[in-house]
Structure 1
Amino acid sequence: MTSDHGFIYKRNPVLQSDKINTAEEPGKLKKRRYIVAKEPVVDDGVFNIGLGHMLGNGDDKVISYPGGTSVFSAKGNAGLHYVHGGSSPQEMLIPVIDIKMDKGAVETRTVQIMLVSLIQKITNLITTLDFIQSDPVSDVVKGTVYKLYFLSEDHERISNENIYLADKRDEDVHKRLFRMRFTFKNKRYDKSKNYYLVAYDESNDVEVFRHEVIMDVAFPNDSGF
């Protein structure tokens, strides 16, 4: 990985006194911050280096550049608020950073699931609900297995148990949606009591979410009074 500090911005533009005047010559490549020519620029604060030395060949041209924030006098006024650092270390050296990732130091987490269906009341002994796997499985988001079922407030299991293998790697959120069908015990439910949809991570048997519902299922021969 490499880096560059960019240009230095000055509140006031470069003054004429900060410009270094040089003669125009055929074949001279002249820019505000450097000149490439057959002859070096001999002036206070100007440094010169052979182009052939830089390129490792026999080129006899010379690169001249200001040692500070001064610039060479050139046509145009654009960019006069920006100066280079001349021969300062940040201009002459390119930092190269080697990055080594320590896999043991990367924190990982288990992928989560969430209930999508907006349900507050169960009115049928067979109910289908929609869920979503919150993130795609990756190097730092680990897959797992979830078990989901309904409980009463007395911890009685009142539905079948569904198993979901949370291992989808799709970036598209729609491809991480899934649906589960729950079948409830055919019994009389008390609407004044609390019932819950719960999800457990099978890898550690930890409850990951709990959603409260009301059981309002008509029992056979129940007149409702």
Structure 2
Amino acid sequence: KGLTIPEICKSRKFKHFKDLYRDKYDVLINGYYLIYHKDIKIEDNILDLVAEYDNRYYKMDTYYRRFYYHLDKVEDNSIFEDLQTLVENIYINQYLDIISKTFSHKLDYDHLKQKYKLQKDFYTHFIAGKNERMIVIISDAFRYEVAKELVQRFKYNEKVEAKIEPQIGVLPSYTSLGMAALLPNNSIEIMDDYSVYVDGKPTNNLVERNAILQSKNFKSDCIQYDDLIKMKKEDMREFFSGKEVLYIYHNQIDARGDKLNTEDEVFVACYEAMEEIEDLIKRLTNNISATRFIVTADHGFIYTRRKNKESEKIDKFFSKDDKVNRRFIISDNSYDILGTKNMIVSDVLGNYDERTITMPLTSNVFKVQGGGQNFVHGGSSPQEIVVPVIKIKTTRGAVEVEKVKISLISMISKITSLLLSLDFVQQEPISDIIKPANYKIGFIDKSGKLISNEEIYVAKSKSSNSSDRIFNLKFRLRNKKYNRNEEYYFIITDIETGIEIYKQQVIIDIAFADDFGFDI
């Protein structure tokens, strides 16, 4: 019928045995999209590269993450071995290594700051001088593409406004340095023992970071997510009372990925991180009437399922006094090693440190002992140092109630008759947190003019059985001549807000029709 693999899989998600095959369908969908975009062209200009990473390149990382997330949930995934091999080769060889090499070659902080904010200036740009309480959620290794998905999730709630922008993280992209860069600072130093100081003060733990926050604004505080989430409402209100700047440290992704025995669970941790951040914002909005949040990260990460072969690792060339990580080396020496790039620390941090940072150009790693094989950070790929800043505004009760959504089940990519009978499904039953919604549904031309009847549907089913929430609507296109090369669209619009929740371009291939809808 000329349908794509994603179209077939999405339609079958609503069939009787959908729960048995849902993860297999998602494996196919995300594998298809990754393969379809395999010839992606990487911009050569660093400013354009970051812009395109923000706009579309990041989706390759998302397709890869979702592919393995669902593959790992398939009980017998051996049927996907050939597809897995293809996905792995395309992701690493045709995307990850190419974008990493180009980005690393062109990396220049002076050039980047002409257009993008730098992580070391985070407090100045986003916190200082604000006249309302700011709550900053710093999620360790919450990389940019995961943050993009979190923003999409927020769009389903009409009372949450979330906007994301890229920020250029510090190099090396490791936790101690990234966390320090997010504090108010005039200077950042990597000491001889490789601890990180801000304005001459240590930043290793909560007490030390809180002292730096309070030196800028005495009504500041910081807390670990795990401690905050255990608080009762009254304790939470007491902790936040009178505070203007709050830093909350969240660690789900890095905690899982940095351990050898759990690094393959990192994509599960990504979903858990999103859910925990959503829930935290909900609780703080409702419990303490917080309305302004920023979600950001210290760094991102690279993860590939294929383990690095010993022959692919960059062999030992460094001295015993160097700070050595799988993705970077800090040294008094300037090494000239094939497949690596050097930068001076002062070019990153704006200080007088003349030591050299050496990092692999691609996703390769240095040959060092310890740590996992698949999850890494510290290097200069966009996955590691393009970090998110999500600015969020909520209203009380924002995450408590949301409108129910409807989805089209029928396939309508090509229309050959004036008369159509289409099946839809209400995605969830109405409950105390899912409220009814009114939608208008129809076909339009490229100018927005209706070319069919417009159906009004009130989604209000309370049935927990999805088959009970399936409904059928009939449409009749206007009796006129259609050009298959013209743009026509099927749209679903929320009547209350006027927002289009679904829009699909369709091909109408009807030469002419009589008044009864029969092709002649």
| TM-score between both structures, scaled by the size of structure 2 | 0.23
CA contact (8 A) 2:491 2:504 kept: yes
Partner residue in 2 for 1:198 = 491
Please show how residues 20-169 of structure 1 align to structure 2 within 5 Å.
105=397, 107-169=400-462
| Root-mean-square deviation over aligned CA pairs | 2.5
Counterpart secondary structure, 1:186: coil
Cα separation, partners in 2 of 1:220 and 1:181, compared to 1, 3 Å: closer
- In 2: Cα distance, 1:159 partner to 1:195 partner: 11
Considering fraction of residues, name the structure with more helix. Answer: 2
- In 1: Cα distance, 2:440 partner to 2:449 partner: 16
- In 2: Cα distance, 1:135 partner to 1:220 partner: 38
- In 2: Cα distance, 1:122 partner to 1:173 partner: 27
Partner residue in 1 for 2:480 = 187
Cα separation, partners in 2 of 1:99 and 1:174, compared to 1, 3 Å: farther
CA contact (8 A) 2:418 2:513 kept: no
- In 1: Cα distance, 2:458 partner to 2:448 partner: 24
> What's the offset of the Cα at 1:125?
0.8
Counterpart secondary structure, 2:449: coil
- In 1: Cα distance, 2:489 partner to 2:501 partner: 13
Larger-gyration structure (1/2) = 1
Structure 1 residues without counterparts, runs of 5 or longer? 1-96
Counterpart secondary structure, 2:442: strand
Instruction: Provide Cα deviations, 1:15-44, integer angstroms capped at 9, x if missing partner.
Output: xxxxxxxxxxxxxxxxxxxxxxxxxxxxxx
Structure 2 residues without counterparts, runs of 5 or longer? 1-230, 235-282, 288-395
Counterpart secondary structure, 2:450: coil
> What's the offset of the Cα at 1:220?
4.7
Counterpart secondary structure, 2:440: strand
Partner residue in 1 for 2:106 = none
Partner residue in 1 for 2:58 = none
- In 1: Cα distance, 2:425 partner to 2:439 partner: 12
> What's the offset of the Cα at 1:152?
0.8
- In 2: Cα distance, 1:109 partner to 1:220 partner: 42
- In 1: Cα distance, 2:451 partner to 2:503 partner: 15
Considering fraction of residues, name the structure with more strand. Answer: 1
| TM-score between both structures, scaled by the size of structure 1 | 0.51
**Match for 1:123: what amino acid?**
T
Partner residue in 1 for 2:505 = 212
Instruction: Provide Cα deviations, 1:39-98, integer angstroms capped at 9, x if missing partner.
Output: xxxxxxxxxxxxxxxxxxxxxxxxxxxxxxxxxxxxxxxxxxxxxxxxxxxxxxxxxx99
The number of equivalent residue pairs is: 126
- In 2: Cα distance, 1:170 partner to 1:182 partner: 26
Instruction: Provide Cα deviations, 1:75-132, integer angstroms capped at 9, x if missing partner.
Output: xxxxxxxxxxxxxxxxxxxxxx998996964521110011101221111111111110
Residue identity (%): 35
